[in-house]
A = this chain, B = another copy of it.
């Protein structure tokens, strides 16, 4: 199977994505975390993969406005039918190249400690986890309790990008 082509996200990609994103996350209510603004105001650092005219994966993120040498990945989603194909990796790599060309040297993201697939994925992509000395850990990784509000624990990942523009 050929890799689906990856292109910049557009506002019109939002409706087909938001309609399926909870299903892609096995029923977890993720849609509140993905307002349309990411597909309007962060198109330069947001991407979709299409196959046979259908969106099968996407990533959305931005360049930090506080720390212009840092980029942040807010949300990634891949159709369960398209998993294990390297598509999430390809979307991340496209994001890395893009933000590196925009002058970023670090990529950050957060994920939920219950999402073991996400933790394994980020580790396989070369991300490291922030430590906070908390006793609460998952697989040896620090959990930041209530990071995104009450009950919303998070694991904090970061990855250094190479300091040349050819690779990362």
A25 at the interface (CB under 8 A from B): no
Do B15 and A40 touch (CB < 8 A)? Answer: no
For residue A58, CB closer than 8 A to chain B, the reply is no
Residues of chain B within 8 A (CB-CB) of A163 are none
A36 contacts partner chain B, Cβ-Cβ < 8 Å:
yes
Contact B18 A41 (CB under 8 A): no
Q: Does A35 sit within 8 A of B, measured CB to CB?
A: yes
* Copies of this chain, whole number: 2
A1-32 contacts to B, CB under 8 A, are 15, 18-19, 31-32
Q: A33-B32, A33-B35 are in contact. Are A43 and B18 (CB under 8 A)?
A: no
Assess the A72–B37 pair: CB atoms within 8 A: yes
- A137 cross-chain contacts in B, Cβ below 8 A: none
Q: Does A124 contact B (CB under 8 A)?
A: no
- CB 8 Å contact bits of A38-74 with B (1 = contact, 0 = none): 0011111100000000000000001111110010101
Q: Residue among A18, A43, A110, A149 with the most chain B CB within 10 A?
A: A149
Distance in Å from the Cβ of A154 to the closest Cβ of chain B?
A: 8
A121 at the interface (CB under 8 A from B): no
Tell whether, in the assembled complex, residue B65 and residue A45 are in contact, meaning their CB atoms are under 8 Å apart.
Answer: yes
